[in-house]
Amino acid sequence: MKEIIASVESLKIVPVVAIEDVRHADRLADALTGGGLPCAEITLRTEAGLASIERLRKRDGFLVGAGTVHSVTQAKQVVDSGAQFIVSPGFNPKTVQWCVENEVPIFPGISSPTDLEMALEFGLEVVKFFPAEALGGIKTLQAFHGPYHTIRFMPTGGISASNIVDYLNLPFVIACGGSWMVKSDLISAGRFDEITQLTRDAMNLI
Residue among 3, 125, 128, 194 flagged as catalytic: 128
Q: Please say if 47 is a catalytic residue.
A: no
Find all residues with CB under 8 Å of 141, minimum gap 6, and list them. 129, 132, 153, 155, 167, 170, 172, 173
Residue among 20, 41, 76, 94 flagged as catalytic: 41
DSSP result, the chain: -HHHHHHHHHH-EEEEE--S-GGGHHHHHHHHHHTT--EEEEETTSTTHHHHHHHHHTSTT-EEEEES--SHHHHHHHHHHT-SEEEESS--HHHHHHHHHTT--EEEEE-SHHHHHHHHHTT-SEEEETTTGGGTHHHHHHHHHTTTTT-EEEEBSS--TTTHHHHHTSTTB--EEE-TTS-HHHHHTT-HHHHHHHHHHHHHH-
- Whether the Cβ atoms of residue 197 and residue 205 lie closer than 8 Å to each other: no
Q: Please say if 54 is a catalytic residue.
A: no
Q: Which residues are known catalytic residues?
A: 41, 128
